[in-house]
Amino acid sequence: MLNYKRYKRVPVVDYPEREWPNKEIQKAPIWCSVDLRDGNQALIEPMIVEEKVEFFKLLVKLGFKEVEIGFPSASQIEYDFLRKLVDEDLIPDDMYVQVLTQCREHLIEKTFEAIKGVKKAIVHIYNSTSTLQRDVVFNASMDEIKQIAIDGTKMVKKYMENHDGEIILEYSPESFTGTELPYALEVCEAVLDEWGASKDKKVIINLPSTVEMNTPNVYADQIEWMAKHFKDRERVILSIHPHNDRGTAVASAELALLAGADRVEGTLFGNGERTGNVDVLNIAYNMFSQGINPELDIENVNEIIDVYERCNKMDMDMRHPYAGKLVFTAFSGSHQDAINKGVQAMKERKGEYWEVPYLPIDPSDLGREYEPIVRINSQSGKGGVAFVMDTYYGFKLPKNMHKEFADVIQVISEKQGEVTPTQIMDKFKEKYIDMKEPYHFRKIKIEDLSDDSVDDDEFDTKITLTFTFKGQENVVEAFGNGPINAVQRAMQDVIGFQIKVLDYNEHALTQGSNAQAAAYIHLLDEEKDDATFGVGISSNINRASVRAVFSAVNRLLAKRGEN
């Protein structure tokens, strides 16, 4: 049995005056990518300088205005990377380069050496303030821990005097979620006062969920409590940095935005220590799905994935939100049917908004293709197979035909698992379009016998039908009310049993002068009370219809075992 009694419950915040549950996210936050620092340090094989440059260029292309590029005072490769960005003029004029450092003078001094020539920089200092770390790591009092933060702020002020460029201070009480709120506020206020923060000289106060310790609502309470208790909220840019230890970092970030956070630090697709940082793209795409501009250029998720996987040497999980190969895929038959109907309704209604069951956003808005939407396996239903035939190949199968053809595909899927669209089309050709034995239609001559001046019940169409039976050519004549009826009469005389057309459908497959048409005939074997569909295609609709009749006749004979 699990020894759950070893663990004590992390206390929640006693904060009944919370207001965040009644709010909605209205706009995108300030985004800060920490892929090149927090994300990179968690890689089995950290990025080399060239890979960091490629990743940095991606972040620029995506529209990030703040990027934490590393810990240049503690790592030579990160120092060299930053110098490369400066020397090769790779930093856009409107971007803030963020650098992390502990509150130690020699590290802060080297940090300022590294950012020499950077026009806009965020110097990010931190020290851990949590109850547990004060006890077991630092063995220090509250006042001693607070003094570390104050001294770090003083040192940044000292070295920025000789820096030719804009400096914004960022302070993080690391392990914030394990820190008593009044004490966290006290330390942050001491930093703000020491810096001389004001409305025109803001400080980024970053409140990290360094280790996710409780449910997202508790983090939201902590953020709102801090936001409302700063003595001058206008001098603070309130930032969050959630981790994903409990698997709820995205929810924590979104609730924290409701609670008053202005800024989010995270990584692309959530890479980071342990279970990772918050996934900034997940949040951004969530906003996009709600009609909010995410303020990032994320239309081509495949390009982002490509750089991410190559530089991080990590594979994207197939179920990763928005980016996984299977997230716009439906295996369930009922889901496939709903998607099919939703897409068709969208086309017919030409509505202003995207509304398709099981697809919260249009995959094409992310640079994804419609091709992966529906996958067919043994759990799929008739709607999915019909959707593939329509979406991929333009065949709009009559509704009564959906189950008949789905049963054909079901046999394959039960043997091999997933069935690809190509296999589905190949089987469609085999079972319908290329069903040309034993009777193979060759040509038809149609004569119109109608006379508008005479109103009678006589047949108005004569056909001369040429076909082969097991390779032997035959020619027959027949009369009927239209070409299809005449061909039906001719063929039932040939095959020796009564057949009846239950339904007929046709549609254009392509457009233009060489357009092809598809025809579908639902044909009943009246003697056996058994029906099946036939399909024909041609640039001539009459020929397509006749081919459909022959296809259906051959299928009926196959059912009788006479093929």
Q: Which CATH code for domain 333-433?
A: 1.10.287.1400
**Mean pLDDT (whole number) for 256-261:** 98
Percentage of the chain with pLDDT > 90?
79
Give 210's contacts (C-beta < 8 A, 6+ positions apart).
128, 174, 175, 176, 177, 178, 241, 243
Which single residue is written with the structure tokens 């770390």? 133
pTM value is 0.78
3-state secondary structure of 108: helix
**CA–CA distances in Å: residue 496 to residues 489, 492, 526:** 11, 6, 11
C-alpha span between 395 and 517 (Å, rounded): 10
Nearest CA among 478, 490, 484 for reference residue 505:
484
132, 121 in Cβ contact below 8 A? no
Q: Could you tell me the residue ranges of all domains in the chain?
A: 26-312, 333-433, 439-560
User: What pLDDT was estimated at residue 392?
Assistant: 84
Q: Do domains 26-312 and 333-433 have the same CATH topology?
A: no
C-alpha span between 383 and 340 (Å, rounded): 7
Structure tokens at 172: 């993080």
Which of these CATH numbers, 3.90.850.10, 3.30.160.270, 3.30.70.940, 2.40.37.10, describes 439-560? 3.30.160.270
Per-residue pLDDT of 12-22, as tens digits, reads: 999 999 999 99
Give 299's contacts (C-beta < 8 A, 6+ positions apart).
365, 366, 367
The answer regarding whether domain 26-312 maps to CATH 3.20.20.70 reads yes
Per-residue pLDDT of 130-155, as tens digits, reads: 988 998 888 899 999 999 999 999 99
Nearest CA among 48, 36, 146, 136 for reference residue 91:
36
**473 pLDDT more than 90:** yes
Q: What is the dihedral of CA 141, 142, 147, 150, to 10 degrees?
A: 160
C-alpha span between 387 and 364 (Å, rounded): 17
C-alpha span between 324 and 496 (Å, rounded): 56
**What DSSP string runs through 336-349?**
HHHHHHHHHHHHHH
Percentage of the chain with pLDDT > 70?
96
C-alpha span between 453 and 360 (Å, rounded): 60
**What DSSP string runs through 122-167?**
EEEEEEE--HHHHHHTS---HHHHHHHHHHHHHHHHHHHTT-SSEE
Q: What mean pLDDT is reported for the chain?
A: 93
- Grade residue 380 by pLDDT with cuts at 50, 70 and 90: low
**CA–CA distances in Å: residue 425 to residues 388, 397, 417, 420:** 9, 13, 17, 9
CB count within 10 Å of CB 286 equals: 20
**Mean pLDDT (whole number) for 23-44:** 96
Give 512's contacts (C-beta < 8 A, 6+ positions apart).
none
324, 283 in Cβ contact below 8 A? no
C-alpha span between 310 and 330 (Å, rounded): 28
User: What pLDDT was estimated at residue 371?
Assistant: 46
C-alpha span between 316 and 86 (Å, rounded): 32
- Phi-psi sector, 387: left (phi>0), alpha (psi -120 to 50), beta: alpha
- As a whole number of Å, the CA-based R_g of the chain is 35
